Chains A and B, each alone.
Chain A
Amino acid sequence: MIKQIAIVILQIFIIIALAPLLGGIIKKIKAFFQLRKGPGVFQPYYDIAKLLQKDSVVSQNVSWLFHAAPIISFAAVLTAGLLIPIFITEMPFGFAGDLIAVVYLFALARFFIALASLDAGSSFGGMGGSREMFVASLVEPALMLSIFAVALNVGSTNLSYISQTVSAMGLDALSPYQILAFAALFIIAIAETGRIPIDNPATHLELTMIHEAMILEYSGKQLAIVELGAMMKQLLVFSLLANIFFPWGIATGAGLAAIFIALLVYAVKIVILGATMAMVETSTAKWRLFRLPELLSVSLMLSFLAIVSFIIVKGG
């Protein structure tokens, strides 16, 4: 019992503590590719610490929703974090939900932020909210299909079970459908974390922003919570990619040494994924909003192909 509580606390601590660091590392790698020096990797921590010390300026026209939304979305993302294997496959809350629950917890977080963006009645907020929902409506079917491709391969939608099985399979898990589903989920990860072909996290240019437009009304402590929630979501999407498709090295029991190794391997995997994401961001330009359906239908088609090739290979 104590061991399980310790695992839960460690997992929450890792998610909250490492999420800003990942953002900082990606920024640093991007700066490296652009031949800039860039801010230090700990800059997001300073930003959040500073925001937490400031007061919030709130519009007089907002309802309770505006105050509740950051907390609800933060809690939803953190709950999703308890369902995704980070360093150990036997998670205490593994029974409580599967991949589909994770998808909808992310959707819940997104829904409340979009509602809050409409609440203040500013024009940018509404624009950001409608764009976010537009992207979400395209991402969700592709995300579901690619997840089903993985689930078909393993025979369960439970995340702990998936990562345990795939890690036990070793290199045998490297099948066509797994690769296709990974490619699909990688494109979705770009959309979910708001990175460059879809959204530009580094700009406040009103014509292009999606996420930034939604949270324009927030300031101070509330902004800190929203930003931390977005960073946590980014870390969790990366963990999903890392620990569903390449879970090798993850701890299957609760031994201290195994957990320590698993944490190291996890850090390496996340940094590699982050570096790949930074490379994609540096080498592509932001796409016009109405071209996004093309990119996301590529992802939809890839996950569809994953399922079809599963059926072909297994002779369904």
Chain B
Amino acid sequence: MSEIILGSKSVQLLIALILVSTFMILGSTRLYSCVRAFGIQSFLLACVAGIVAYSTGKNDLYIVAALTLVIKSAVIPYIFIYIIREIKVKREIELYVNISPSLIIGGVLVVISYYLIRSINIMSELSGFALSASMSLVSIGLFVMISRKKAIMQMLGILIMENGLFLGAISLTYGMPLLVELGIFFDVLIGVLIMGILIFRINKTFESIDTDMLKTLIG
């Protein structure tokens, strides 16, 4: 059963597009286009959840897909845009690692996660693609967190990691129990709100959301 769903052409296409949207986040220098790419990624993830729900016939998963659609691809990007607009931050993201090297590092991370997944023996050839994509989303999210200076990008990085975990959960187990999923969504939403407030505070104290500045002492 699992082979049929995750091996189906449409899910494979969606997962490939999710990878493309991740690279869009890595490859763009504007905050808005990063947020837009994250919205697209979450929308594609909701589509994957919808297809899995349709083919397994689990009604819980429809709710999960709908929640992903609403919270991750609409509400969270809106919160991001609200923060960017309110603190009037410069729209270019600043980087520790330039665009071209970070794209190459992203590609290397995809390959590494593929080999890691392959060495686990549960791999059936079809869900292997979904699983290694989820693994690479987690590692690329981590890379975004450590290579971008703006605090907003750290927030985005952790959300990419969360998306990766969601994809992994769906591809391995067809979603966790609804209660757990609901808990995670609530967690993510509250997390984003708290991080947003934290960014406002950082901006108020340091007059910048550049994480480099956090080291300076303020008397």
Instruction: Give residues in A with beta carbon < 8 Å to B.
Output: 172, 174-177, 179-180, 183, 293-294, 297-298, 300-302, 304-305, 308-309, 311-315
Taking CB atoms and an 8 Å cut-off, the chain B residues in 97-136 that contact chain A are 99-100, 103-104, 106-107, 110-111, 114, 125-126, 128-129, 132
Give bound CA distance, A313 to B13, whole Å: 11
Answer whether A304 and B107 are a contact pair too, CB < 8 Å, given A172-B9, A176-B13.
yes
Expressed in whole angstroms, the minimum distance between the Cβ of B189 and any Cβ of chain A is 31
Decide: A302 and B20 in contact? CB cutoff 8 A: yes
Decide: A180 and B9 in contact? CB cutoff 8 A: no
Closest to B24 in A: A298
A176 contact from B16, B27, B110, Cβ within 8 A: B16
Give bound CA distance, A293 to B99, whole Å: 9
Give bound CA distance, A179 to B15, whole Å: 11
Give bound CA distance, A176 to B17, whole Å: 8
21 contacting pairs across A/B (C-beta < 8 A): A174-B13, A175-B12, A176-B13, A176-B16, A176-B129, A177-B16, A180-B19, A294-B100, A297-B100, A297-B103, A300-B103, A301-B104, A302-B20, A304-B107, A305-B23, A308-B114, A309-B16, A309-B19, A312-B114, A312-B129, A313-B12
Residues of B within 8 A of A172 (CB): 9
B23 contact from A174, A302, A309, A314, Cβ within 8 A: A302
Secondary structure of the B contact surface, majority rule: helix
Decide: B16 and A179 in contact? CB cutoff 8 A: yes
Residues of B within 8 A of A177 (CB): 16
Secondary structure of the A contact surface, majority rule: helix
Closest to A298 in B: B27
Give bound CA distance, A245 to B17, whole Å: 17
**Can you list the 3 inter-chain pairs with the closest CB atoms, starting with the nearest?**
A176-B16, A315-B125, A297-B100
Give bound CA distance, A238 to B133, whole Å: 31
Closest to A315 in B: B125
Give bound CA distance, A174 to B103, whole Å: 25
Decide: A301 and B16 in contact? CB cutoff 8 A: no
Taking CB atoms and an 8 Å cut-off, the chain B residues in 15-46 that contact chain A are 15-17, 19-20, 23, 27, 29
- Residues 34-78 of chain B, each 1 if its beta carbon lies under 8 Å from chain A, else 0: 000000000000000000000000000000000000000000000
Size class of B's contact patch?
Answer: 20 to 34
Decide: B15 and A176 in contact? CB cutoff 8 A: yes
Residues of A within 8 A of B15 (CB): 176
Decide: A294 and B128 in contact? CB cutoff 8 A: no
Closest to B126 in A: A313
Expressed in whole angstroms, the minimum distance between the Cβ of A179 and any Cβ of chain B is 6
Decide: B99 and A297 in contact? CB cutoff 8 A: yes
Residues of A within 8 A of B125 (CB): 313-315
Residues of B within 8 A of A302 (CB): 20, 23
Closest to B13 in A: A176
Give bound CA distance, A313 to B130, whole Å: 9
Expressed in whole angstroms, the minimum distance between the Cβ of A206 and any Cβ of chain B is 27
Residues of A within 8 A of B111 (CB): 308
Residues of A within 8 A of B17 (CB): 179
Give bound CA distance, A4 to B172, whole Å: 55
Residues of A within 8 A of B104 (CB): 297, 301
Decide: B23 and A175 in contact? CB cutoff 8 A: no
B100 contact from A179, A293, A313, A315, Cβ within 8 A: A293
Expressed in whole angstroms, the minimum distance between the Cβ of A44 and any Cβ of chain B is 34
Decide: B20 and A175 in contact? CB cutoff 8 A: no
Residues of B within 8 A of A304 (CB): 107
Counting chain B CB atoms within 10 Å of each CB, the highest count among A174, A179, A308, A312 belongs to A312
